[in-house]
Amino acid sequence: MTIRILGIETSCDETAAAVVDGGHTILSNIIASQAESHAQYGGVYPELASRMHVESIAFVVEQALVAAHIGWDDLDAVAVTYGPGLPGSLLVGLNYAKGAAFATGLPLVPINHLEGHLYAHWLDTGAEGSAAGNLRFPLVALIVSGGHTDLVLVHGHGQYQRLGSTLDDAAGEAFDKVARMLKLGYPGGPVVEEAAKKGNPAAIDLPRAWLPGTYDFSFSGLKTAVLRIQQKYTGPVPPRFYADMAAAFQESVVDVLVEKTKAAVEEFGPNAVLLSGGVSANMALQEAARARIPLPVYTLPSVLCTDNAAMIAAAGFYRYQAGERAGWNLDIDPGLQLI
C-alpha cells in the first residue's frame, strides 16, 4: 500500500484540499477560489477570506475524498499549511485539520506553504515542461508568489540554503499593485500578462534593480516608476499606453528574476532549475528562463503554480516519511520563512 496524504491549504484566498498517493500521484485536487469576491476590493480582504474559508472548508475536504474515491480510513496522514499567510485564514485550515486528525486518529503533519510550492514539482503533472520524477539534487529554485520572492539552493529533501529574497514587494505583489494602478483588474498577474501581449516593451523605459553582488530582489522602485510615468498624463492617456506599460513592466520583472536565477546557476552548478509559485504561471517568465538558462528549467501547469493543496500533500509525504508529526499545540505562524 502506498502512502496517501490529505493536504489542506487555506493560507490566503483559496480554500483547498487534495489527496496525493505516494507523494506524486494526484487523486484529487479541489480548489475553491475566492478571487471573484475579493476583486471588488482590488485585493484580498482578510476578514472576508477567513469567513469564506469557514463556509467552504468542510465541503472542500469532503469533495477531495469523494473525487479521490476514498474514505478517511484509506488515508495515512493529514498535512496542513501552518504558515506563512494571513492569520485568520491559516487558523481555519489548521483548526479543521486538527479536528479531523483528532477525530480519525490520523497523524497531523505541519507544512510550510513555501515548501509546498517547491514540492509541487514532485507531483506527476503529465504536462510539458514538468519534472516528472527526474529531479536530482542540488537544485536551484525560484519561488515567486504574491507574498514571497525567494531564490533557494535545495541540497536535499528539506535542506535549503537561501540565496536571496525580496527586500520590499514580492514579485506577485508588484504585479497586483501595477494592475491596480493601470486599472486592469484583480488578480494582477494574469491581467498584466494578457495586456502585455498587445504591448511593446521597448516603448517605455523602466528600471531594473540589479542589486549587484547579491541574489536579493527589489520591486518597489519599479512600481514607483510606473506610477510616475502614468502621472505625467494629465489629459487623455494614449490608447496604447496600458498595453505598452504592462509589457515593459513584465519585461523588467522577468529580466531581473531570470538573470539572478541564471547567475545562481553559474555559481552553484545545480542539476536543474525549478520555477514555483503564482508568478511562475507567467509564460513570458517561463519562456525567458528556458531560453537563457542552459539547464533543464522545470515549470508547472497554472493550477499547480498558484495556491493548491496537492502541493501541501506532496510536501507532507516527505515530512511524514521523515517522521515529522505535529502535536495538538501546533499553532499558526503567519511570518514563517522557508529558511
**Residues within the interface to ligand KG4 (CB under 6 A):** 12, 145-147, 172-173, 175-176, 187-190, 193, 277-279, 281-282, 306-307
Nearer to Zn ion, 19 or 120 (CB): 120
* Residue 188 near which of ligand KG4, Zn ion, none (CB within 5-8 Å, type-dependent): ligand KG4
Nearer to ligand KG4, 145 or 261 (CB): 145
* Residue 279 near which of Zn ion, ligand KG4, none (CB within 5-8 Å, type-dependent): ligand KG4
**CB neighbour list of residue 239: distance below 8 Å, 6 or more residues apart:** none
Nearer to Zn ion, 145 or 165 (CB): 145
* Residue 190 near which of Zn ion, ligand KG4, none (CB within 5-8 Å, type-dependent): ligand KG4
Q: Are 257 and 210 in contact (CB under 8 A)?
A: no
Least distance from Zn ion to the Cβ atom of residue 140, Å: 19
**CB neighbour list of residue 58: distance below 8 Å, 6 or more residues apart:** 96
* Residue 251 near which of ligand KG4, Zn ion, none (CB within 5-8 Å, type-dependent): none
Least distance from ligand KG4 to the Cβ atom of residue 187, Å: 4
Nearer to Zn ion, 4 or 117 (CB): 117
* Residue 193 near which of ligand KG4, Zn ion, none (CB within 5-8 Å, type-dependent): ligand KG4
Nearer to ligand KG4, 154 or 279 (CB): 279
Q: Are 134 and 124 in contact (CB under 8 A)?
A: no
Alpha carbons 191 and 176: distance in angstroms, whole number: 9
* Residue 116 near which of ligand KG4, Zn ion, none (CB within 5-8 Å, type-dependent): none
Residues that bind Zn ion (CB under 5 A): 145, 307
Nearer to ligand KG4, 63 or 302 (CB): 302
**How many CB atoms sit inside 10 A of residue 212's CB?**
6
Alpha carbons 255 and 289: distance in angstroms, whole number: 9
Q: How far is CA 170 from the centre of its chain?
A: 11
DSSP letter (8 states) at residue 118: H
Closest alpha carbon to 44 in 116, 146, 145? 146
**How many CB atoms sit inside 10 A of residue 35's CB?**
13
Least distance from ligand KG4 to the Cβ atom of residue 36, Å: 14
For 152, the grid coordinates are 533557494
**How many CB atoms sit inside 10 A of residue 327's CB?**
8
Least distance from Zn ion to the Cβ atom of residue 113, Å: 6
Least distance from ligand KG4 to the Cβ atom of residue 328, Å: 27
Least distance from ligand KG4 to the Cβ atom of residue 148, Å: 7
For 216, the grid coordinates are 536579493
Least distance from Zn ion to the Cβ atom of residue 32, Å: 15
Nearer to ligand KG4, 107 or 316 (CB): 316
Interhelix angle for 283-292 vs 188-196, to 10°?
70
**How many residues are given for the chain?**
339
Alpha carbons 28 and 20: distance in angstroms, whole number: 7
DSSP letter (8 states) at residue 238: P
* Residue 281 near which of ligand KG4, Zn ion, none (CB within 5-8 Å, type-dependent): ligand KG4
Least distance from ligand KG4 to the Cβ atom of residue 304, Å: 10
* Residue 187 near which of Zn ion, ligand KG4, none (CB within 5-8 Å, type-dependent): ligand KG4
Q: What are phi and psi of 166, to 5 degrees?
A: -80, 145
